[in-house]
Structures are given as structure tokens and as C-alpha cells.
Amino acid sequence: MLLHQPDDRQLARTTRQLLKFGAEVDLKRLEEKFFQTRVLTLKQHESIVRLLAIFAQHLAALSNQLAVQEEHSESPQITRARSFITEHQDEDLSLDHVAKAVNMSAFYFCKMFKKATGMTFTTIWRASAWRK
């Protein structure tokens, strides 16, 4: 899209650039399409730019929202661990037992659990958070 009618000088410059880049071009078809290029008024151009800016802002906001959700989302293993703990709350669970139930090492489970809950498994279990 252009803001003014295309002319022969612009066509010549565009053709030279394409040939310089090694593009294989049907010059007759290029000329035909070049002069059919849509011409916008300044107001139309400004409106398109404004719409693109609004779209970019919405896209940025959405990507930030998704990033925050992802940052605060819980891993599937921790979700399974929470379920396992709830289902077995009347039993004497150990860190190793829960970690094995979700196929994680005790060390990694401890690290991920604290990251997700803000507390260690041992602290929560001792405080009887899941117990009746």
C-alpha cells in the first residue's frame, strides 16, 4: 500500500533492486501489479497504524498475562503430590514416600514443593496442614 500513486521512476528503482538481489521476475507482470497497488489517503494510513498499535498493546498485555500465569502455575508433579498427600493424610507420610509417588527425587521434590507452596514439605506436614 502506498500513500501516493506509483510512478515509472519507482517501478524502475524497484525493478533494479529485485534484479540486483537475483530475483527472477516477470517484468510485465511486475509492472502490471505495481501500478495496481492500492493507494491510501493519509487518514486511512493513520487509522491502520493506530489499529496496529492497539493490536500490539493488546498482544503485549496478553503475553504478559500468560507469562505471569505460567510463572505462578504449579507443575503437574506438585499437583499430583498435593492429591496424593490429601488421599493419604491419615497415614504417616515421609518426604521420600511422596516424592516416589510422583516419580521425583526427594531433593528435587523438596525444591519444587517449596517453590510452589512457599513452605517445605516437612514444615507443612508437621503443622498438620493436610491432616484432619
Q: What are the structural domain ranges in the chain?
A: 8-72, 76-126
Per residue in 23-60, pLDDT (tens digit) is: 998 989 999 999 999 999 999 999 999 999 999 999 98
Give the predicted TM-score (pTM) of the model.
Answer: 0.44
Superfamily name and number for 76-126: Homeodomain-like (1.10.10.60)
The answer to whether residue 130 scores a pLDDT higher than 60 is no
List, for residues 62-82, the tens digit of each pLDDT value: 888 887 776 667 788 888 988
35 Cβ contact list (under 8 Å, min separation 6): 6, 11
Cα–Cα distance for residue pair 2/5, rounded to 1 Å:
7
